[in-house]
Structure 1
Amino acid sequence: MGFSPAPLFEDVAGAPAGGQAHWLNTSDNTRIRVAHWLPEEEACGTIMMFPGRTEYIEKYGGTASEFVGRGFACLSVDWRGQGLADRLLDDPRVGHVDSFADYQKDVQATLDLATELDLPQPWYVIGHSMGGAIGLRAVLEHDCFAACAFTGPMWGIFFTPIMKPLSRLTAYWGPRIGLGEKTPPTTTLESYVLAQPFKGNMLTRDPAMYKMMQDQLAAHPELALGAPSTIWLREALDECAWLMDQTAPATPCLTFLGSHEQIVDRKAIRARMANWPNGTLVEIPDGEHEVMMEAPDVRGPVFDQLAAHFLATQKNPSPQPALTS
Structure 2
Amino acid sequence: MAETSPAPFFTEIARGPDGGEAHWLATRDGQRIRAGHWRPAGEALGTILMFPGRTEYIEKYGPFASDMTERGFAVLAVDWRGQGLADRALADRRLGHVDHFDDFQQDVAALMDHARTLDLPQPWYLIGHSMGGAIGLRALYEGLPVAACAFTAPMWGIRIPFALRPAARLLARFGAALGLSEKLVPTTTIEQYVQVTPFEGNTLTTDADMYAFLQLQMAKKPDLVLGGPTVQWLAQAMIECAALREKTSPDVPCVTFLGENEQIVSTEAVHDRMTRWPSGTLDLVPEAQHEILMEQLHIRTRVCDAIATHFKKHKLTQ
Return the TM-score normalized by structure 1: 0.96
Match of 1:47 in 2: 48
Once the 2 structures are TM-superposed, how far is the Cα of residue 93 of structure 1 from its aligned partner?
A: 0.7
1:197 is paired with a residue whose SS is coil
Output the CA distance in 1 between the equivalents of 2:96 and 2:298. 33
Once the 2 structures are TM-superposed, how far is the Cα of residue 143 of structure 1 from its aligned partner?
A: 4.4
Question: After superposition, where does 1:115-194 map in structure 2 within 5 Å?
Answer: 115-194=116-195
Once the 2 structures are TM-superposed, how far is the Cα of residue 82 of structure 1 from its aligned partner?
A: 0.2
Question: After superposition, where does 1:1-325 map in structure 2 within 5 Å?
Answer: 1=1, 2-314=3-315, 317-318=316-317, 320=318
Change (3 A) 1:261 1:66: same
Q: Alpha-carbon deviations, 1:157-197, whole Å to 9, x = none?
A: 00111111111212221211111000111211011000111
2:113 is paired with a residue whose SS is helix
Q: Alpha-carbon deviations, 1:51-81, whole Å to 9, x = none?
A: 0000000000001111111110101000000
Output the CA distance in 2 between the equivalents of 1:171 and 1:213. 30
2:147 is paired with a residue whose SS is strand
Q: Name segments (4+ residues, structure 1) moved above 3 Å.
A: none
- Kindly provide the amino acid, as one letter, of the partner of residue 182 in structure 1: K
- Kindly provide the amino acid, as one letter, of the partner of residue 74 in structure 1: V
- Kindly provide the amino acid, as one letter, of the partner of residue 112 in structure 1: D
Q: Alpha-carbon deviations, 1:114-141, whole Å to 9, x = none?
A: 0111110000010000000000111111
1:281 is paired with a residue whose SS is strand
Output the CA distance in 1 between the equivalents of 2:74 and 2:149. 15
Output the CA distance in 1 between the equivalents of 2:11 and 2:137. 30
Percent identity, aligned pairs only, is 56
1:177 is paired with a residue whose SS is coil
- Kindly provide the amino acid, as one letter, of the partner of residue 196 in structure 2: A
1:176 is paired with a residue whose SS is coil
2:251 is paired with a residue whose SS is coil
1:23 is paired with a residue whose SS is strand
Once the 2 structures are TM-superposed, how far is the Cα of residue 286 of structure 1 from its aligned partner?
A: 2.5
Output the CA distance in 1 between the equivalents of 2:191 and 2:105. 27
The runs of 5 or more residues in structure 1 that have no matched partner are 321-325
2:177 is paired with a residue whose SS is helix
Once the 2 structures are TM-superposed, how far is the Cα of residue 42 of structure 1 from its aligned partner?
A: 1.0
Match of 1:323 in 2: none
Output the CA distance in 2 between the equivalents of 1:168 and 1:52. 22
2:34 is paired with a residue whose SS is strand
Once the 2 structures are TM-superposed, how far is the Cα of residue 291 of structure 1 from its aligned partner?
A: 0.9
Give the RMSD, CA atoms, in angstroms. 0.8
Q: Which moved more, 1:208-217 or 1:138-147?
A: 138-147
Output the CA distance in 2 between the equivalents of 1:252 and 1:117. 25
Q: Which moved more, 1:272-281 or 1:176-185?
A: 176-185
- Kindly provide the amino acid, as one letter, of the partner of residue 171 in structure 1: A
Return the TM-score normalized by structure 2: 0.98
The runs of 5 or more residues in structure 2 that have no matched partner are none
Output the CA distance in 1 between the equivalents of 2:15 and 2:26. 27
Output the CA distance in 2 between the equivalents of 1:21 and 1:170. 37
Output the CA distance in 2 between the equivalents of 1:88 and 1:37. 28
Output the CA distance in 1 between the equivalents of 2:260 and 2:169. 25
